[in-house]
Amino acid sequence: MYHGSAAYVFVWEIGYGTGEIATQGGNVYANAEMVGKVPVCQSGSNYTTNCPNGSTVVGFRYEWDAGYYLNLGYGIKFTAQDTSEVLPYNTYSAQLNIQYSH
């Protein structure tokens, strides 16, 4: 979603990782562009960021501000990746193209 100079990308990670990385057009995001890291809990078969007291955190939702890089013309391809904290330390990645108009 693109509104003026802000475009937020939300990445839901179920599990625990270390070393979250986001890129835009092949350029690595600065840590300042991660504007939020919110706990995710499981409620039945659904995941939610509304974690009541005593619930178990099963992952995190990362919030990235892609607007800065879109405005600089870094391209529309956003990629996020992270590496598991447990064996066999697999790395996941996901990518999307952000469609917007100036």
Secondary element (H or E) of residue 60: strand 57-65
Q: Per-residue pLDDT tens for 31-48?
A: 777 888 999 999 888 999
The closest of 49, 101, 102, 99 to 78, measured between CA atoms, is: 99
Share of the chain above pLDDT 70, in %: 91
What gap in Å lies between CA 84 and CA 44, rounded to an integer?
24
Q: Per-residue pLDDT tens for 66-87?
A: 887 888 888 888 999 999 988 8
Q: What are phi and psi of 33, to 5 degrees?
A: -80, -10
- Report the range of poorest mean pLDDT among 4-8, 17-21, 36-40, 72-76: 4-8
State the residue for tokens 């917007």: 100
Q: What is the pTM of this model?
A: 0.78
Residue 1 has what pLDDT? Answer: 41
